[in-house]
Amino acid sequence: EEAAVELSDVEVISEDIPGWLVANEGSLTVALDITVSDELRREGIARKLLSHVSYDAQMLGCTTASLEVEDGNEAAIALYAALGFTEAGRRRGYYGAGKDAIVMTAPLPLVLPLDNASPEPTAAEQRAWPLPAPERTAEERAEIERRRLVLAIESSCDETAVAIIDADGKMLANQVSTQIDFHARFGGVVPEIASRKHVEVIVSVVDAALEDAAASLGLEGGAIAPSELAAVGVTQGPGLVGALVVGVAFAKGFAYAAGKPLVCVNHLEGHLFANLLAQPDLKPPFIFTLVSGGHTMLVHVKAWGDYEVLGETLDDAVGEAFDKVAKALGLGYPGGPIISKLAETGNPKAIDFPRALNSRGDYRFSLSGLKTAVTLYIEQETKAGRTIHLPDLAASFEAAVFDVQYKKAKNALHATGCKEYCIGGGVSANPHLREMMIKKLGRQGIRVTVPPLSACTDNAAMIAEVARRKFDRGEISPFDVDADPSMTL
Ligand code: KG4
Ligand code: ZN
């Protein structure tokens, strides 16, 4: 509270962390509020909490930590000193009359004594491997076997996701743990943070999915055990290499130890197959538009697995353009959802932004010119002292992006004679894009499929759908595969 009065920006780090991020004179400080009950002292709890909080704070961009400790509490002062804290000041009467607080600060990362760096896990933290399958009736066991459960892992960017699908394509679990909060401060995904966060949560996300699958099947004995799965799928690429490696290494170890086959999946194919979750009878040939944070592609899907990429972006991906425009306006990250919300009440014809590479038969995309036009517009208006009408700007920007998407998709449909169209990637969650394609192409007799909203941005359900089909066809990956950050369709 004191910090809130004195300092410019105070923010709760996360619900389960007792600390605040404080922006002060250009540096970020984390303020901690940690107390350990008397009966639990001397078990290293404070040290663990401190190292956890300070680690998260550092990931959020903090450079120092500060705390108050009562003068005379020698045990606590010694602990903090060992972590690198030094006295920075005093608060008189902080803990009541005559009881002063010593203010201590430390640079991040904290000094973690070697003997405490990786403490032995307690008995409660350890699990025997192989995890035993819970007691099941013979019917339950037969049912689980019949379903041929495939567990799939996605970790290509800033989402750690795990889904479990059965042989009929029924999704029994679909867990997504997002790291967006940890990247938002930096205005984009920070690869090192992404990797670390995947490492931290992957075990618990897998556990949660195994529990969900048991619940979906009405099994009362407990979570699905690894031995009860039929296969393990994983995103092999494309994406951030350090993020992919976490999923791939985990999947390999998990599958190998459980004695199950490994199935590697192309993330881009995942975005395509997300459409099958909405329209199971979608069949090639058709035209597919992929619009995500990393990719912009127009694809002629001639058969499953036979893809002709008609055109790609020469510079920014569509999602990236949304993110950059939002950043230029100081609106936050990721930009897509923010801009599409603003655009709801805006006039798409208010500002005439350029449409690039607009000639027939040219399936390439370019978004950097549009991005520059938007930036220039913001500068001009600001200089002229006019307030920018954000909804109009957002709607006009969207219109410029989506007009081009529509036109090229329409041309590709005509040129190939395809009667089906679908779309995928984070930007396909945009309501205006979905509506435009469904309405305008629908009027021309094209059947338009859009993925369920939950399967547009990165998720493991779409990876599970690809893995299930590959597993069905016997397309198993060897255990010496590596993540492939530059995989193409
Ligand atoms: O597919 P995705 O989750 O990650 C990649 O594989 O890249 O896509 C993320 C991108 C971000 O750039 C985000 O701004 C954009 O999708 N996005 C949107 C919307 N929701 C997410 N763009 C426009 N409108 C939206 N509603
Ligand atoms: Zn994606």
- Taking residues 84-108, what's their average pLDDT? 91
pLDDT in tens, 245-298: 999 999 999 999 999 999 999 999 999 999 999 999 999 999 999 999 999 999
Q: Is 319 in the pocket of ligand 1 (CB under 6 A)?
A: yes
Per-residue confidence (pLDDT) for residue 207, from 0 to 100: 94
Cross-strand partners of 435: none
- pLDDT beyond 70 at 8: no
Provide the phi-psi class of 68: left if phi over 0, else alpha when psi is between -120 and 50, else beta. beta
Strands lying side by side in the sheet with 86-91: 9-14, 17-24, 27-32, 64-70, 101-107, 86-91
Closest to 395 in 3D by CA, of 438, 433, 357, 448: 433
Region of poorest pLDDT, from 165-179, 180-194, 320-334, 346-360: 180-194
Query: Does 233 sit in the ligand 1 pocket, CB within 6 Å?
Result: no
pLDDT at 32: 61
Kindly state if the Cβ of 451 falls inside 6 Å of ligand 1.
no
Do 112 and 104 contact (CB within 8 A), yes or no? Answer: no
Contact 201, 246 (CB under 8 A): no
pLDDT band at residue 4, thresholds of 50, 70 and 90?
Answer: very low
Query: 144, 129 in Cβ contact below 8 A?
Result: no
| Cα dihedral across residues 207, 210, 214, 217: positive or negative | positive
* Block residue for tokens 């199950």: 260
- Output b/e per residue, 264-274; b: 16+ Cβ within 10 A: bbbbbbbbbbb
Q: Which one of the ligands is nearest to 270 CA?
A: 2
Ligand 1 lined by 337 (C-beta under 6 Å): yes
Looking from the CA of residue 430, the nearest atom of ligand 1 is 26
Residue 382 has pLDDT above 80, yes or no: yes
**Residue 24 confidence (pLDDT):** 55
Return the ligand 1 atom nearest residue 156 CA.
6
User: pLDDT-based confidence at 226, cuts 50/70/90?
Assistant: very high
Closest CA to 185 of 321, 325, 341, 327: 327
Average pLDDT over residues 304-316: 96
Ligand 1 and 247: CB distance under 6 A: no
Query: Ligand 1 pocket, 402 CB below 6 A?
Result: no
For residue 218, count other CB atoms closer than 10 A to its CB.
Answer: 8
Beta strand pairing call for 101-107 and 86-91: antiparallel
Using CB atoms within 10 A of its CB, is residue 222 exposed (0-12), middle (13-18) or buried (19+)?
middle
Is 458 a pocket residue for ligand 1 (Cβ < 6 Å)? yes
Q: Is the pLDDT of residue 14 over 50?
A: no
Q: Whose CA is nearest to atom 10 of ligand 1?
A: 293
pLDDT band at 62 (very low <50, low <70, confident <90, very high): confident
**Does residue 425 line the site of ligand 1, with CB under 6 A?**
yes
In the chain, the amino acid numbered 305 is G
Distance 221 CA to ligand 2 centre (A): 35
- The predicted pLDDT at position 77 comes to 92
Can you give the pLDDT at residue 37?
A: 77
Q: Using pLDDT thresholds of 50, 70 and 90, give the confidence band for residue 346.
A: very high
Residue-wise pLDDT for 105-158, tens only, equals 988 888 776 555 556 677 777 777 777 889 999 999 999 999 999 999 999 999
pLDDT score recorded for residue 229: 98
The pLDDT value given to residue 115: 53
Report residue 20's pLDDT band, with 50, 70 and 90 as the boundaries: low
Amino acid at the residue 442: G
CA 76/CA 106 separation, integer angstroms: 14
Ligand 1: distance of its center to the CA of 433 in Å?
Answer: 12
Question: What is the Cα–Cα distance from 261 to 256, expressed in whole angstroms?
Answer: 7
Ligand 1 contacts CB of residue 80 (under 6 A): no
**Rounded to the nearest 5 degrees, what angle is found at the Cα of 226, between the Cα atoms of 165 and 239?**
60
Q: What is the CA radius of gyration of the chain?
A: 26
Residue 189 phi/psi, 5-degree rounding, is: -80, 125
Strands 306-312 and 296-303, by their bridges, are antiparallel
Ligand with minimal distance to 316 CA: 1
pLDDT of residue 82: 87
Look at residue 17 and tell me whether its pLDDT is greater than 70: no
pLDDT of the residue at 360: 84
Q: In sequence order, which ranges of 279-334 are alpha helices (DSSP H)? A: 318-328
Residues in contact with 468: Cβ distance below 8 Å, sequence separation at least 6, in sequence order: 150, 165, 167, 169, 233
Question: E strands along 292-350, which residues?
Answer: 296-303, 306-312
Taking CA atoms, 250 is separated from 225, 232, 233, 243, 258, in Å, by 16, 10, 11, 11, 12
pLDDT band at residue 408, thresholds of 50, 70 and 90? very high
Q: Is 292 in the pocket of ligand 1 (CB under 6 A)?
A: yes
- Rounded to 10 degrees, what is the CA torsion of 213, 215, 217, 221? 100
Average pLDDT over the chain reads: 89
Residues in the chain: 489
Pair 461, 455: CB distance under 8 Å: yes
- In this model, does residue 7 exceed pLDDT 70? no
CA distance 393 to 306: 39
Q: State yes or no: pLDDT of 351 exceeds 80.
A: yes
Interval 10-21 mean pLDDT: 50
Residue nearest to atom 14 of ligand 1 (CA): 336
User: Which residue type, as a one-letter code, is found at position 92?
Assistant: R
| Burial of 81 from C-beta contacts in 10 A (0-12 / 13-18 / 19+) | middle
Q: What is the mean pLDDT of residues 411-419?
A: 97
Of 271, 235, 237, 268, residue with least CA distance to 451 = 271
Contacts 24+ apart (CB under 8 A), 468-471: 468/150, 468/165, 468/167, 468/169, 468/233, 469/273, 469/304, 470/233, 470/263, 470/265, 471/148, 471/150, 471/230, 471/231, 471/233, 471/261, 471/263
Question: Hey, whose CA ends up nearest to atom 8 of ligand 1?
Answer: 426
Indicate which residue's Cα is closest to atom 4 of ligand 1: 293
pLDDT at 182: 82
Percentage of residues of the chain with pLDDT beyond 70 = 90
- Phi and psi at residue 239, to the nearest 5°: 160, -165
Assigned token pair, 462: 């779409």
Alpha carbon of 270 to ligand 2 centroid (Å): 8
Order of strands across the sheet that contains 171-178: 171-178, 159-165, 150-154, 231-237, 262-266
> What pLDDT was estimated at residue 1?
32
State residue 405's pLDDT score. 97
How confident is the model at residue 12, as a pLDDT? 45
265: Cβ–Cβ under 8 A, 6 or more apart, which residues? 152, 233, 234, 235, 236, 463, 466, 467, 470
Pair of tokens at residue 17: 């962390």
Q: Given a cut of 90, is residue 319 above it in pLDDT?
A: yes
